[in-house]
Structure 1
Amino acid sequence: MLNVSEVINDRYKITRIIDADGGMGQVWEAHDLRLSRKVAIKTVKERFIKENPQASTIFQDEAKLGASLIGHPNIVTVLDYGKISGNLVPYDFIVMEFVEGITANEFIKNYKVKIDSETYYRLCLLISWEICKAIKHSHDNNILHRDIKPSNIFLSKYGVTKIGDFGLARFIDAATRAHSVNQFKSAPYASPEQWSGQKHTRGVDKYQLGATLFELFTGEIPFNVPFLAQMNCHLNNTPNAPKDINNAISDDLSNLILKLLSKKATDRPALWQIYDVLCKELLGTYSMKLSVAEESKEVIYKINKITEFEKEALATKNPVSYSYLDFNECLSESLQLLLAGITKFSIQKKASSNQQNKQKIVTE
């Protein structure tokens, strides 16, 4: 539909395509000529519009729903909506906040093998905590997502997790239009209700959250089988306990993830239950240890800018450590380090929390 360098509505200049194979359309990176900033633009595929007369209405619903969630730090912000006359048919577009960073899917595939198991586990706890906050906020506003999966979760370079693509969202009391699992390529995360064509409720988001957390913590999808076998597994089978795959996961968290994957929506726990378990796992004093002996001046500068480790301590090229009482600060800074290409660090949750918020940096 769009072309690089094309300007739409005299404001947004297309710079590159981000996702050519989205369920409903495509996602592009663009430059906002008025405010001089990067934005993401989502369009509806012409084929989808032809096949579904309601596509434009559905897409406009997405824009309105996304806009109603503006202000939450863990939800991608919708900035604008418009319609363009295309070559064949008019098509809609949504302008969204451009999140510089990676998806949770990329985080799992690229970083699970690069950092130690405890560091990875602690970062997953923070990501999961922020996902839960976003879903709870949308549910509190009677909005469903219906397509929660790692590729729709973004980790920004500022260490913040955001859920994007409310393309399937609907007001709960009006959720009557269904979309096939196959069409949106979300089989590993689809709930039994989606496979059987039932009305979507909050339980769909809970199940998809369970499948997403399962993969986040274990690196595996709940049922690692071909597409044609996915439906039977989600309707009839129980996955292995996450703790059996990753023994760093607590018993409580592992059990709740399995409960989120219950076949009956009424058996799935409330969001506050998973939120409480995540909070209990997160709360405490943390220590970050960095190895800088082989790092360049440019990397040392990045570390200093992200973590505020003192330049003098980093300049010694000895390992340095730092203690935090605020888990969010420690884990957020750790994500920022990863996204800046820095992996030679580790974080640990300390046994005692009766320490000062930030201790002085010590060299070892």
Structure 2
Amino acid sequence: MLKKLGIKGRVLLLTLLPTSLMALVLGGYFTWMQQSDLQTQLLQRGEMIAEQLAPLVAPALAHKNIALLERIATQSLEQQDVRAVTFLAPDRTPLAHAGPSMLNQAPTGNGSQMLQRTGSDATRYLLPVFGRHRNLAGDLIPDESDRLLGWVELELSHNSMLLRGYRSLFASLLLIIAGLICTGLLALRMGRTINNPLSQIKHAVTQLKDGNLETRLPLLGSQELDELASGINRMAGTLQNAQEELQHSIDQATEDVRQNLETIDIQNIELDLARKEALEASRIKSEFLANMSHEIRTPLNGILGFTHLLQKSELTPRQLDYLGTIEKSADSLLGIINEILDFSKIEAGKLVLDSIPFNLRDLLQDTLTILAPAAHAKQLELVSLVYRDTPLSLVGDPLRLK
């Protein structure tokens, strides 16, 4: 059947089939809901019948009137779906019974509420009858409200409920099957109607896909298909024009790329030359810094040497203090020169930091000693403040830290 439908018919069938399946599922769901409602109504009706029988049989149970109990039980069978009725004494000894034997076992429990047990074919109810039920049917008897007079037991059949449920399910199935058949016939008819035009459209699209952009579709016999064919023809014309423009753009872009490549080659050569010049300038600068640093270090070493000689001579304490300051300043200047060399090392990627033990307090004191003369000239006093929890013995590069 699917082969006869053609492409469009199969599309329509696949489109309508989920709807039909959804209708089937919904029909089953509503049938199940209806069956559940019928069962709920049946259970409620059984509870209502048992509660109606309690006031009727309360006087007969109190006086053990077996004849009256049997007559009430027999009349209760006339109620819809009532299968059997039994009236029991307080110790659950049968007093009167009407109808066949109970299918389900008796509900268990000794509470003051209604008990029930539901089976596949019937539901069995057990309701205690108290003195208050007798008060509803006759005169008020004091102190008898909570006295147990007996039990009302009845069983309701599920046959009528199941029959109504099966009828509803059968009707739903018939409607759903009819809907599926109509859906299939509609899809088959539509497939036969438009299968040939779709084959022409498929062939034209294949030609366009293969690059034959001159392909055009004729009129297909219906307004919708003619509009589709016209749209495909316009698309083919647009693709043909776009292909021509694309080819022209490709040629123009190829020429532009060739010119850009030539320009890039020239720029690369210029950049390479500029890079070499920059490297040469950097090398010359590094050599200049190294040479200048070595030239400055030579007189500094002389200053340091003569400072050491003066410290060995006889000098006053003030002069020794000045010499110490000169020595520290010269050492700092020597450190600055080494830092200049460090810049060259950084550029070359060869800078290595020292890792030696030093005393932080001494380093701070040396730094303040060098800066003290300039501070005193400005009438300032430099004081170092080192907290007690600050570690003094460290490992690092003291010269660069200073």
Q: Which TM class, normalised by the smaller chain length?
A: under 0.3
More helix by share: 2
Normalised TM-score (structure 1) = 0.14
Normalised TM-score (structure 2) = 0.13
Bigger Cα Rg: 2
